[in-house]
Chains A and B, each alone.
Chain A
Amino acid sequence: MYVYDEHDRKIAAERVAQFRDQTERALAGELSEEEFLPLRLQNGLYVQRVAPMLRICVPYGMLRSEQLRRLARITRDYDKGYAHVTTRTNIQLNWPRIEDVPDILAELAEVEMHANQTSGNCIRNTTTDQFSGVQKDELADPRPYCEIIRQWSTFHPEFAFLPRKFKIAVNASEHTDRAAIQVHDIGLQMVRNEQGELGFRVHVGGGLGRTPMVGPTIREFLPELDLLTYLEAVVRVYNRYGRRDNKFKARIKILVKALSPATFAEKVEAEWQQIKDSPTRLTNEEINRVKAYFTEPAYDALEDATDLLSQQRFENREFDRWLTHNVAEHKKPGYAIVTLTLKKTGTPPGDVTDRQLEQIADLADEYSFGEARATHEQNMVLADVRQDRLFELWEAITGMGFATANLNTLTDMICCPGGDYCALANAKSLPVADAIQRQFDDLDYLYDLGPIDLNISGCMNACGHHHVGHIGILGVDKKGAEFYQVSLGGSSQHDANIGKILGPSFAREAMPNVVSKIIDVFVENRTEEETFLDTYRRVGLNPFKERVYA
């Protein structure tokens, strides 16, 4: 994991001093509400429905145990003792006091953390696959490139006031896309060209929100050394020509669509030709320097513990389920990737208490070289667990609420904080998630249904990624009452697409029943091998529509 040097530490410390000064001027009335707004947003500070909300940056999801412990302490000392893992792998506090935020930032800086650019119309936290560096099928570890992008984008002087927010994601796996890159402003897919050189396929103009779009490819191959100059060209074209007259048409996807992807690509190419050989061009030395922070931990030379695990599976059905669903294959023999689910029924998806943060820190130290990862599906990952210690780990986490064996099933849903917390929301999302989790409480049935992404957003800003859920739920406001619109068939994988709206929206109480009917149609129509998405793609929207509105 990346470790700050004296330059990073200096920038982090100077940032804390700057934000303290800005906060003091805001509290003294020297900055108007409107003037302070972008300053506090670029530090992740929202003023919410019931209290301020502080979004702390977790670059590409990586956390060290000391950082988890510090987050726990902060939630205890400055908040109500719990935090929330977001779909950009950040961590939110729901109840800090504005005047405490500079002190919180100072505490974060001590453990090499910050809240820079977690909101606002600037380049946000770059995200990637939570299995980076430990999975078998990746071309290279994407995290060094994410860190290089983080440094380039931090306080970029030209891009602090873009037309709208700007999100970049990197994926390195050929077969999966856990980073949902095609619904980002820029999605970077690592590829090799015919000469075997490493680079990126560049997608621009994907996104969710009011006008969901899958990002078209504007460059098939960008050599890795050209990464930053090309990003600079894309963002410069956007900064100059993106719409600023209408907030709802200001994302880069609208510009790409208006110009056409081909014309947009030409404009970027022309800009890039002017700067591609500037000193911003990366060097192999820099890539290697950053890569050196992401080298493999000191793995033991092991063999797969196949026999032991089979025996343990045989002896314990609960462990068997958990192993099947929440544990993934690791590139090293004898190791495994464990997802700690934060989706226990009765707890808002992605919420963790201070005690749980400390427990995760302890687990990371004991089982996974002191590191954990936050995922965009709002879970946590221990990436380097010895297979022969999985049973022991499972026993330990069962009482902590991290072993709900529902990963990738219907009840492992993505859900934004919604109207319970968020000032933007049209409707509550947490009670809907809770009601659906209660309706589908039979794990064997969930396993039989197979992988289903159910995503819930409380408004069309789409923090809950409802457009790319196989089943998407969107809170809408109908004459002051909360209603929910359902869409089907979305995907954030390599076959990314936006779900189709089923029809008129429903009252909250109807939602568990609506989801049940959708599931029934799937069960009645599926063939043996089909997943929910396969069946939907084969039979289309109509059978679902007929049943739900019958």
Chain B
Amino acid sequence: MPDVIAADGTIRNDNWVVVARPAEGDSLDIPEGQPALIPADLWLAGYEHFTGRADIGVWFDSHDEPELLQGKVNELPLIAVNFPRFVDGRGYSIGRLLRERFGYAGEMRAIGDVLLDQLQFMKRCGFDSYVLRADKDITKAARCLNFFSETYQAAVDNDVPLFRRRAS
């Protein structure tokens, strides 16, 4: 796994690997001795086998429904959401739903076409780690995460909108 950016912009390395959806008829190819993210529906299909394992997390694609794992999200050590193209904004809704509606408290990672100028939105929608697309300058991540010190609306990072803070 490449470098991972944390919500505060610091960079660390970890070895989680994203396991692609197997072709029709093929079985899931989970590498030995390495923590792995597998498609969320396949995790559910193999629930007995996977639940409670610290080395198996899931990833959602942008068209997947996070409702799938309602009630089970906190059995997972890591959830990733794939942004297949940076202009595909469905992942932001998925992130908020996992956090705000299903109460996911663990690490949530943005993967795929993750660019510098999307990081601030991902952070506000509850993502706390990001795998930047390889050709982008990771040293600029901290700056791009922190352009704004104030926001109008509530989101995962601050569930109190500005108008309520103004009033207090």
Contact = CB atoms under 8 A, between A and B. Distances in A.
Contacts of B144: 21
Contacts of A148: 163
A279 interface: yes
Nearest to B84: A244
Given A38-B87, A121-B87, A279-B164, A14 B125 contact: no
B93 interface: yes
A7 B166 contact: yes
Interface residues of A, number: 45
Interface string B67-94: 0000000000000000000111110110
Interface in A275-318: 278-280, 282-283, 285-286, 289
Contacts of B123: 157
Please indicate which of the listed interface residues B96, B153, B159 has the most CB atoms of chain A within 10 Å of its own CB: B153
Contact of A14 (B89, B149, B153): B149
On chain B, which size bracket covers the interface? 35 or more
B150 A11 contact: yes
A14 B120 CA distance: 13
Please indicate which of the listed interface residues A121, A240, A289 has the most CB atoms of chain B within 10 Å of its own CB: A240
Please indicate which of the listed interface residues A154, A156, A158, A282 has the most CB atoms of chain B within 10 Å of its own CB: A158
A50 B158 CA distance: 44
Nearest to B137: A30
Contacts, number: 115
Contacts of B120: 157
A155 B155 CA distance: 11
B86 A161 contact: yes
A312 to B, nearest CB: 48
Contact of A160 (B96, B101, B121, B151): B121
Contacts of A274: 101
A352 to B, nearest CB: 31
B109 interface: no
Given A157-B125, A278-B154, A289 B148 contact: no
Interface string B127-153: 000000000110010011001111111
A70 to B, nearest CB: 24
B161 A280 contact: yes
A2 interface: no
Contact of B143 (A21, A31, A283): A21
Contacts of B122: 157
A243 to B, nearest CB: 11
Nearest to A235: B93
Contact of B162 (A7, A22, A239, A282): A7
B3 interface: no
Given A157-B121, A160-B121, A239-B92, A14 B150 contact: yes
B125 A240 contact: no
Contacts of B164: 279, 283, 286
Nearest to A239: B93
A151 B152 contact: yes
Given A14-B148, A39-B117, A286-B167, A280 B154 contact: yes
B7 interface: no
A158 B96 contact: yes
A524 interface: no
A151 B125 contact: no
Interface of B: 86-90, 92-93, 96, 101, 115-118, 120-125, 136-137, 140, 143-144, 147-155, 159-164, 166-167
Chain A to chain B: the 8 pairs with minimum beta-carbon distance, closest first: A161-B89, A157-B124, A18-B147, A157-B121, A286-B163, A151-B152, A158-B92, A10-B150
Interface of A: 5, 7, 10-11, 14-15, 17-18, 21-22, 25, 30-31, 35, 38-39, 121, 148, 151-163, 228, 236, 239-240, 244, 274, 278-280, 282-283, 285-286, 289
20 contacts: A5-B166, A11-B148, A14-B148, A14-B149, A15-B147, A15-B148, A21-B143, A30-B137, A154-B152, A157-B153, A158-B93, A159-B92, A161-B89, A228-B153, A239-B92, A278-B159, A283-B163, A283-B164, A283-B167, A285-B167
